[in-house]
Structure 1
Amino acid sequence: MEMEMEKLKELLNKCNTQYEFIKLCDLEQEKNM
């Protein structure tokens, strides 16, 4: 069960990072328009 939790945390971290990245990209694009 421990392993599952670790994997879940890792996945969540990846999702959060990607989400932040996408937000940043959106901001950059708005500035360029």
Structure 2
Amino acid sequence: AMECLGLVLWEAQRQKRMPDTDAYLDCLNRL
């Protein structure tokens, strides 16, 4: 789950916007 969180936070930083909770949950569902 930590890799999902890291990925989502990294994406948010890269795009200068809020973390995408939908993407995070989607990532968790695929684990």
Point out which structure has higher relative CO (alpha carbons under 8 A, 6+ apart): 2
Higher Cα Rg, which structure: 1
The structure where helix makes up a greater share of residues is: 1
TM-score, with normalisation over the residues of structure 1?
0.47
TM-score, with normalisation over the residues of structure 2?
0.50
